[in-house]
Structure 1
Amino acid sequence: MGHRRSWRQLTVWLHVLSSAGWMAQAMALCVMLTTGLVTDDPAVRTAATTMSLATDGRLLGPMADVSAFTGIMLAAATPWGFFRHWWVLVKFAVTIVQLYAGIFLLSPQLQASAATGPVPVQVVATALMASAIAFQAWLSIAKPWGPVGRRRRGGTGPAWVFVAAVLGGALDLGLGLVLGHPMPLLSIVLIVVVLARRRTWSAPAAGSRTAAGEPG
């Protein structure tokens, strides 16, 4: 039990760390893109977009993937679940929207404008991204609203789930930093495995003290 709790706490730590990194890099992108947008120097404008593109690929993207991965693992492997509490459900929905916007909208725009400089929509997008992550942090602390109906309380996954979450997230993060773009290979495989196995974990007995961890 103590071994599982330690690895669960490490998973929460990695989730918080990567989420803070995701927000910090979004704020950094916002500052760089704003600088490139308001400057009259073409060299500064191009440099701002080029550095934003590198930051997005090597830091923001990998951090976002690890944050989403650890959050999904914590929700799947703890009694919090995905659909038992409104605040968890909202965090999950916001995360999916952010990942989609970052992968399919923001990153291609940064690549397209690398030689010409940033455009206003990129500044707005990065500011909204940072604000959304800050909102998710508030949800994690405040845990507002009530439960989503009456759903059966799930169990806590075995220790290997949290070990896999920490090691898989760290390896995918390192791989993204080396390659210069996100590569969530282990994350995707582990999520599929955990979702397939989670129904086999029994719920804790009534009155038992089970630390659930913090979902993403």
Structure 2
Amino acid sequence: MKTVEASRVRSEAGAKAGRAAGKPRHFSRGVRRAVNSSHVVVAVGLVGVEWVMVVLAFVARNADDPVLRHNVYEVMRGLVFAAGIPLAALSLVTGVVLSLRTPWGLWRHQWIKVKLVLLILVIALGAGVISTWVRELGDKTAPGGDTSGLAVVQWYQIAGVSVQLAALIVATFLSVYKPSGKRRPSGG
């Protein structure tokens, strides 16, 4: 019993000394696991949303029924705003929090920086152009809508969601394999 208490006291003293020396505070094991689990859940959810978006884009592109095509684009519009953007934002927040409050660090490893850039790309594409294309596709396929240029916008949207899905798959592989490559100090 004395050894456990002594270990706890040494651990607390070390943590206080680390904070006093300006070292970052780290999560306890339980908090780290909870935040990591949350990050994995929202990231997997985001991959799922993007996969569904790709499938729906092809369904709408190849649908002969104009009502079905329009309804698919309306479902996609809902997915973008109800799931895609919130999950991407939560993935970004939980990923940055994990990086800052664990020994991995945000800027220490190349794979973490690449994941961050990929997620920002996914968010920029989704919030910037894909949501606009999906809204435009919904308008063009509505009864009485102007269908000029429909095929071009459909292919842009398919390409956009495919790029998002590919970026998320690469980020997932980076998370699993964690390739080496610590940041090298600048020599100046």
What is the TM-score of this pair, normalised by structure 1? 0.65
1:143 aligned residue: 178
Cα distance in 2 for residues equivalent to 1:60 and 1:29:
9
Residues of 2 paired with 1:28 and 1:89: CA distance? 27
Say which of 161, 166, 170 aligns to 1:126.
161
State which of 88, 93, 103 in structure 1 corresponds to 2:112: 88
Query: Structure 1 residue 4: deviation in Å?
Result: 2.3
User: 2:101 is matched with which residue: 59, 77, 101?
Assistant: 77
Paired position in structure 1 for 2:5: none
- Partner residue in 2 for 1:62: 86
- Structure 1 residue 92: Cα displacement: 0.9
Alignment of 1:1-216 (within 5 A): 4-117=28-141, 119-150=154-185
For 1:209, the equivalent position in structure 2 comes to none
Give 3-state SS (helix, strand or coil) of 1:79's partner.
coil
Kindly provide the amino acid, as one letter, of the partner of residue 155 in structure 2: P
Q: Confirm or deny: 8 A CA contact 1:49 1:114 kept in the other structure.
A: yes
1:115 and 1:97 map into 2 onto residues whose CA distance is 26
Report how far residue 22 of structure 1 moved. Answer: 0.3
Residues 53 and 107, structure 1, Cα contact 8 Å, conserved in 2: yes
Q: Which amino acid aligns with 2:158?
A: V
Offset of residue 150 of structure 1: 4.1
How many Å separate the matches in 2 of 1:93 and 1:64? 13
C-alpha distance in structure 2 between counterparts of 1:100 and 1:33, whole Å: 19
Q: What is the Cα deviation at residue 132 of structure 1?
A: 1.1
Match of 1:203 in 2: none
Whether the aligned pair in 2 keeps the contact of 1:45 and 1:116 (CA below 8 Å) is no
Question: 1 CA distance for matches of 2:55 and 2:30?
Answer: 37
Find the residue that maps to 1:84 and give its secondary structure: coil
Q: Which runs of 5+ in 2 are unaligned?
A: 1-10, 12-26, 142-152
Q: Please give the secondary structure, in 1, of the residue aligned with 2:140.
A: coil
Whether the 8 Å contact between 1:46 and 1:114 is mirrored in structure 2 is: yes
Question: Number of aligned pairs?
Answer: 150
CA contact (8 A) 2:125 2:164 kept: no
One-letter amino acid of the structure 1 residue matched with residue 79 of structure 2:
T
Normalising by structure 2, we get a TM-score of: 0.75
Tell me how far 1:124 sits from its aligned partner. 1.5
Which has the higher Rg, Structure 1 or Structure 2? Answer: 2
Quote the offset at 1:105 in angstroms. 1.1
Kindly provide the amino acid, as one letter, of the partner of residue 53 in structure 1: R
CA RMSD of aligned residues (A): 1.7
Percent of paired sites with the same residue: 23
| Shift in Å, 1:74 | 0.7
One-letter amino acid of the structure 1 residue matched with residue 134 of structure 2: L
Unpaired runs of at least 5, structure 1: 152-216
Higher relative contact order (CA 8 A, sep 6+): 1
Residue in 2 that maps onto 1:154? none
